[in-house]
């Protein structure tokens, strides 16, 4: 009887642990919102979402290669993507996450680029340097005016860069 109880306990624990883990790896605070906003919707009417906590689902199509301090989540149907920026070291997105399905949440924000930052970005793109998929979260990029302060080189729309200040994510294997 005692053995049966022990086996039951082990199976129960294993079930609880596997259910808690799911098939994804949780980063930061994970994901708490039940409904995701389509990236396309977010970028089509960004002012409706500014300052609000949102969740986006999609495929990881870019990762900060040096520090893992951002990842780009793209809706595979529309090709629209949004960058999830986290504080260095608080959450680290691994390069191996590229191409995996993910869900992430955080506060949607816009950074208005200064004329100098717009110019620096244009110059970088013209020179074929560190584009949206580059590594310009580094200080070099920030010094050039197109990096950290300008949203880690995330794509711009009308001189504004939209990004999500990520609080958590789940990356599925």
Partner 1 sequence: MKWRRLIIATHRDVGYFFAGLTVIYAISGIAVNHIEDWNPNYVIRTESAPLGELPPGGNDAIAAAVLDRMQITETPESVVRMSPGQLRIFLDRRTLTVTLPSGEVVDEHARRRVAFFELNYLHLNHGKGFWTWFADVYAAGLIVLACTGIFIITGRKGLGGRGRWLLLAGLAVPLIYLILVVWS
Footprint of partner 1 (CB under 8 A):
59, 61, 65-68, 74, 76, 79, 81, 89, 92, 95-96, 98-101, 135, 138-140
Q: In this complex, which beta carbon is closest to partner 1, that of residue 68 or of residue 166?
A: 68
CB 54 within 8 A of CB 33: yes
Distance CA 169, CA 56 (A): 9
Distance CA 155, CA 169 (A): 21
Q: In this complex, which beta carbon is closest to partner 1, that of residue 48 or of residue 77?
A: 77
CB of 164 to partner 1, least distance (A): 19
Q: In this complex, which beta carbon is closest to partner 1, that of residue 48 or of residue 96?
A: 96
CB of 60 to partner 1, least distance (A): 8
CB of 138 to partner 1, least distance (A): 5
**In 10 A of CB 115, how many CB atoms?**
9
Q: In this complex, which beta carbon is closest to partner 1, that of residue 48 or of residue 140?
A: 140
CB of 107 to partner 1, least distance (A): 22
Residue 159, H or E segment: none
Residue ranges of alpha helices (H) inside 88-161 are 115-126, 139-143
Residue 163, H or E segment: strand 160-172
């Amino acid at each position: 009887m005692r053995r049966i109880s022990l086996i039951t306990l082990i199976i129960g624990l294993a079930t609880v642990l596997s259910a808690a883990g799911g098939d994804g790896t949780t980063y930061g605070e994970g994901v708490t919102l039940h409904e995701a906003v389509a990236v396309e919707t977010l970028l089509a009417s960004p002012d409706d979402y500014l300052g609000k906590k949102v969740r986006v689902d999609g495929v990881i199509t870019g990762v900060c290669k040096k520090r893992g301090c951002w990842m780009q989540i793209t809706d595979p149907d529309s090709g629209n993507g949004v960058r999830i920026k986290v504080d260095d070291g608080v959450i680290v997105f691994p390069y191996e996450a590229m191409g995996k399905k993910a869900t992430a949440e955080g506060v949607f924000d816009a950074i208005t680029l200064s004329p100098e930052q717009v110019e620096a970005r244009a110059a970088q793109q013209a020179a074929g340097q560190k584009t949206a998929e580059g590594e310009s979260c580094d200080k070099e990029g920030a010094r050039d005016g197109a990096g950290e302060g300008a949203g880690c080189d995330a794509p711009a729309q009308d001189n504004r860069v939209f990004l999500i200040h990520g609080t958590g994510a789940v990356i599925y294997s």
